[in-house]
A = this chain, B = another copy of it.
Amino acid sequence: MSLSETAPSLAVVGVTGAVGQEFLSVLSDRSFPYRSIKLLASKRSAGKRITFEDQSYVVEELTPESFRGVDIALFSAGGSISKEFGPVAVECGSVVVDNSSAFRMDENVPLVIPEVNPEAMAGVKLGKGDDKIAKGLPLSDLAKVLRMVVSTYQAASGAGAAAMEELEQQTREVLEGKQPTCKIFSQQYAFNLFSHNAPVLSNGYNEEEMKLVKETRKIWNDMNVKVTATCIRVPVMRAHAESINLQFETPLDEDTARDILRSAPGVVVIDDRNANRFPTPLEVSNKDDVAVGRIRRDVSQDENYGLDIFVCGDQIRKGAALNAIQIAEMLL
């Protein structure tokens, strides 16, 4: 039982969305302690009933008054809601853990992946926390990454539940020989792929790609790391994949890299060359860990100064919900 009088009071903002639902699932899976929980959403969803840990809750409309007495507010209702209500919640004394990109590049707001840069949480506390935070050991700790070239294979789930439904509906239509219905995306998604739907900036990168470039620098706390990215939407339901090419400042051989990744928290290595078994989106769907494989010395770089890897992770589970709740756990 995770209900406790001495535990924090929680609010989940955007509870009816794909990530909001996953917030509840992860809170329950991890027996996150709470005194009370408020389920918040837009006016349209207010009044719906949601059962959480055998209790029935009524979804409440999000208003500036929603955050009175809330210790931790978990936001995932889009950037504009975070921009409007995040400061209100902070004003009310809540600690906000925001899954949207609204404040990710704000220099006063830490951008945290608990396994990678828990130290960024220093100073953010509920009451008297312990700030001795263990740090994971990513590759970049052992050999500084100079440059990273990323190509993504992004699932429908990244664009929300409606996008997943559109992929399913379109696929049925195409199989029946019908014209696919395009509502969320402007072009056929079934049996197709396309450049990420985020707006394209004047430098030719789309916002998703520049987020990847800038957020990597912030998370690694290295403003000099060179990153380029090409973000592509593929007809996969859930979990993103990335093909990553790394260039190091000092040598790092592939066996050492594999060992580091094997012992890294939140990472599972799937790298069976004989069986041709490597990470797939399907395999990591609904899983906490990020899977890494295809770990090999890059033949286009000086020996041991470059690696190619292939990574799959469930961005709803780990990328959004679990990550937020791990951050909330660090507050306890």
Task: List chain A positions with a Cβ less than 8 A from chain B.
Answer: 147-149, 151, 153, 167-168, 171-172, 175, 186-188, 191-195, 197, 199-200, 203-206, 213, 226-228, 230, 232, 234-237, 241, 243, 245, 254, 273-274, 276, 278, 280-282, 293-301, 306, 308, 310
| Set of chain B residues within 8 Å of A245, measured between Cβ atoms | 149, 228, 230, 245
Residue of B nearest to A227 (CB): B300
Q: Give, as a whole number of angstroms, the nearest-CB distance from A322 to chain B.
A: 21
Q: Is the CB of A195 within 8 A of B299?
A: no
Q: Is the CB of B301 within 8 A of A153?
A: no
| Set of chain B residues within 8 Å of A197, measured between Cβ atoms | 276
- What's the dominant secondary structure at chain A's contact region? mixed
Give Cα A50 to B331, complex, Å: 72
Q: Give, as a whole number of angstroms, the nearest-CB distance from A39 to chain B.
A: 29
- Within the complex, which residue of B151, B204, B226, B241 is in contact with A254, where a contact is CB–CB below 8 Å? B204
Give Cα A43 to B245, complex, Å: 46
Q: Is the CB of A192 within 8 A of B282?
A: yes
Q: Is the CB of B300 within 8 A of A148?
A: yes
Q: Is the CB of B273 within 8 A of A204?
A: yes
Number of copies of this chain that the complex holds? 2
| Set of chain B residues within 8 Å of A148, measured between Cβ atoms | 300
Q: Is the CB of B243 within 8 A of A232?
A: yes
Give Cα A187 to B175, complex, Å: 21
Pick 9 A–B contacts, CB within 8 A, sort by A: A187-B282, A193-B280, A193-B281, A194-B280, A195-B276, A204-B297, A206-B276, A228-B299, A230-B243
| Max chain B Cβ within 10 angstroms of own Cβ: one of A148, A191, A278, A308 | A191
Q: Is the CB of A213 within 8 A of B299?
A: yes
Q: Is the CB of B237 within 8 A of A191?
A: yes
Residue of B nearest to A296 (CB): B204
- Within the complex, which residue of B172, B195, B234 is in contact with A175, where a contact is CB–CB below 8 Å? B172
Residue of B nearest to A201 (CB): B273
| Set of chain B residues within 8 Å of A172, measured between Cβ atoms | 175
Q: Is the CB of A278 within 8 A of B236?
A: no
Give Cα A236 to B310, complex, Å: 19
Q: Is the CB of A273 within 8 A of B200?
A: yes
Tell me whether A243 and B171 are in contact in the complex, defined as CB-CB below 8 angstroms, given that A234-B193, A294-B204 are known contacts.
no
